[in-house]
Structure 1
């Protein structure tokens, strides 16, 4: 018979080492998780692209808002010119450049319904570049221009 181990140190020496477990893989174990990860990445890429396109499409509006804020409060002619430039940027020169008078006011009302461009303030705004000394309805006309710059609807891009 084998020699008996009597001391604690001797007993510890007789123990067998435990084998460590295999390392855990960080890859998913099933194909479904891989498909889900690819789908989530594709969705995030699509959302980022859409957000980027929307931001680019609205750049003219941000620039117009900044320029409108920098205009003097009594500068109706400047507001009308900015309004026309913004409309050209949003709808194209072919559709906007030739509009004058009632046709211009109808266009502004059509693209921003309920704004009230066919009122006296709207008419004062439309006439401002040709009558720069006119100050009647200046506050209301300026408010109309600001409302159109921030609230007009663009047509969907083809």
Structure 2
């Protein structure tokens, strides 16, 4: 919601009216969990691991760099996870795989395809676009949208009050 301005932000299919754990955000169910589960179920498929590594590096770029530049702020939710979980695990995976000298160019190519499919198609297109319903009966509650003082951040950045479309 930070990088994308769109009038549907309040109505994205992240959750229903109840905050039960089984009601995870749709984008996690469609892309995040299956892509990581497949890679875990098939540990010898190096290309799947590369897809997850690319996803992880993408998360580092988005959460540790892009969000902070966009928000002109030092910290954002998700930054600690990507810096202290994704980044070290990604580096460890690459060191481990390369130490066995089993990496071929096609592993990277297939890993990129795996990453692109789950990220662009399932998470971004299906989760954030196709399933967005401006008439959803389950919008985010106003207190959820006001958490972390977005009005104060917009004022600090010199943005008009109505600059966050949603």
- TM surpasses 0.5: no
Larger relative contact order (CA 8 Å, sep ≥ 6): 2
Q: Which interval holds the TM-score relative to the shorter structure?
A: under 0.3
TM-score where L is the length of structure 1:
0.28
Q: TM-score, normalised on structure 2?
A: 0.27
